[in-house]
């Protein structure tokens, strides 16, 4: 290992999990390329293969714009692969030269044929045995699942040969299904879904019967209603060996969010001030960080309790 301990932590922009209009998504990535202070940008459809055909034509220009701006481009795979068409697309992804592939299903890791790849947060890496096996077949980076507490992350970071990434901002991907809840909410079947998920660029809020905000639906994916924010935990996570943090794109000013996380990592903004600024940037959001404290994911805890 040539890396030294004082290496600067990296910021990744996760793949856009929502169904944004293709032109809008292209423009979003152009702005990220030109303005966002992130090291890596993940692109690709993770949630629903029905959405892929619309953005695919824009992908080459998005990738070259990001690469030209000095960003590492990561190609994220679909999470739930169920049929031949999806398998074929995943094999094509795994065969793409020149870009790092993020496997969001174990099948994609297998398809890499020993080439270096990144493990996405939707692959179950809960312990050092699994991490070591994935490293042995080519994993050079692993973004860990949402529900892991800091002590588990510390154990994994200690044993890891690869770079450990942790989700730090945005609605948490909590579950994936064959069923589309967006379509179901409109009394539609998935086959005739009319792409209603596009109506909710930040996910569809799901409240309890008491009108308490609880979850969010993004097509076949179920997410947290609350936005994850680990602004207050970055320093501790760096200290235990986390070298990369992931920001999930939301329908907010992600350039500003990235700048804020960069400042927080550099220690040039106080934690409370950073939290206030994030709340200003995400005016409709509520925040959570419970998982990292080993608690319920929806909680927001002020201190390392």
Partner 1 sequence: MDQLIRPELVCPAGTPAALKSAVEAGADCVYVGFRDETNARNFPGLNFSRKELEEGVAFAHDHGAKVLVAINTFPRAGRPELWHQAVDDAARLGADSVILADVGLIAYAAAKHPDLRLHLSVQAAASNVEAIRFYAERFGVRRVVLPRVLTVQEIAAINAQIRPIETEVFVFGGLCVMAEGRCALSSYATGQSPNMNGVCSPAAHVRYVDTPRGVTSQLAGFTINQFGHNEPAGYPTLCKGRFVANGKTSYLFEEPTSLNTLAMLPDLIKAGVTAFKIEGRQRGRAYVAAVVQAFRAGVDAVMAGRPLPDMDLDRITEGGRQTTGAYERAWR
Contact between 281 and 256 (Cβ < 8 Å):
yes
- The least CB distance from residue 203 to partner 1, in Å, is 10
Candidates 92, 296, 302, 304; binder of partner 1 (CB under 8 A) is 296
Burial class (CB in 10 A: 0-12, 13-18, 19+), 267: exposed
Backbone torsions φ then ψ of 28, nearest 5 degrees: -60, -50
Q: Does 88 bind partner 1 (CB under 8 A)?
A: no
3-class DSSP state for residue 228?
Answer: strand
Candidates 133, 267, 270, 276; binder of partner 1 (CB under 8 A) is 133
Candidates 176, 242, 274, 285; binder of partner 1 (CB under 8 A) is 176
Structure tokens given for 250: 């939301």
Ranges within 232-271 binding partner 1 (CB under 8 A): none
Q: Does 109 bind partner 1 (CB under 8 A)?
A: yes
Ranges within 135-154 binding partner 1 (CB under 8 A): 145-147, 151-152
Q: How far apart are CA 77 and CA 102, in angstroms?
A: 6
Candidates 36, 41, 63, 81; binder of partner 1 (CB under 8 A) is 81
Q: How far apart are CA 24 and CA 30, in angstroms?
A: 10
Q: Does 52 bind partner 1 (CB under 8 A)?
A: no
Q: Does 190 bind partner 1 (CB under 8 A)?
A: yes
The 10 Å Cβ neighbour count of residue 212 is 8
Candidates 27, 35, 72, 128; binder of partner 1 (CB under 8 A) is 128
Q: Does 301 bind partner 1 (CB under 8 A)?
A: no
- Helices and strands (DSSP H and E) totals, the chain: 11, 12
Q: Does 205 bind partner 1 (CB under 8 A)?
A: yes
Candidates 35, 86, 135, 286; binder of partner 1 (CB under 8 A) is 86
């Amino acid at each position: 290992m040539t890396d030294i301990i004082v290496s600067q932590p990296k910021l990744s922009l996760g793949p856009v999990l929502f169904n944004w209009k293709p032109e809008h998504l292209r423009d979003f990535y152009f702005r990220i390329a030109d303005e966002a202070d992130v090291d890596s940008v993940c692109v690709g459809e993770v949630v629903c293969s029905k959405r892929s055909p619309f953005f695919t034509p824009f992908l080459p220009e998005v990738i070259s714009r990001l690469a030209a701006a000095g960003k590492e481009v990561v190609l994220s795979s679909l999470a739930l692969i169920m049929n031949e068409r999806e398998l074929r697309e995943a094999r094509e992804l795994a065969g793409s030269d020149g870009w790092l592939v993020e496997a969001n299903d174990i099948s994609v890791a297998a398809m890499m044929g020993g080439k270096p790849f990144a493990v996405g947060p939707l692959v179950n890496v809960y312990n050092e045995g699994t991490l070591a096996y994935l490293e042995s077949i080519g994993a050079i980076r692993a973004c860990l699942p949402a529900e892991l507490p800091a002590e588990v992350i510390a154990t994994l970071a200690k044993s890891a040969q690869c770079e450990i990434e942790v989700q730090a901002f945005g609605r948490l991907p909590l579950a994936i299904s064959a069923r589309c809840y967006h379509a179901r909410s409109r009394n539609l079947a998935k086959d005739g879904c009319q792409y209603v998920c596009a109506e909710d660029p930040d996910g569809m809020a799901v409240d309890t019967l008491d009108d308490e905000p609880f979850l969010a639906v993004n097509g076949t994916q179920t997410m947290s209603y609350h936005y994850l924010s680990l602004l207050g935990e970055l320093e501790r996570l760096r200290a235990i060996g986390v070298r990369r943090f992931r920001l999930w794109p939301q329908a907010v000013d992600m350039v500003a969010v990235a700048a804020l996380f960069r400042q927080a990592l550099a220690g040039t903004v106080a934690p409370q001030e950073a939290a206030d600024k994030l709340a200003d940037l995400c005016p409709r959001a509520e925040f959570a960080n419970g998982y990292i404290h080993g608690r319920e994911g929806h909680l927001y805890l002020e201190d390392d309790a």
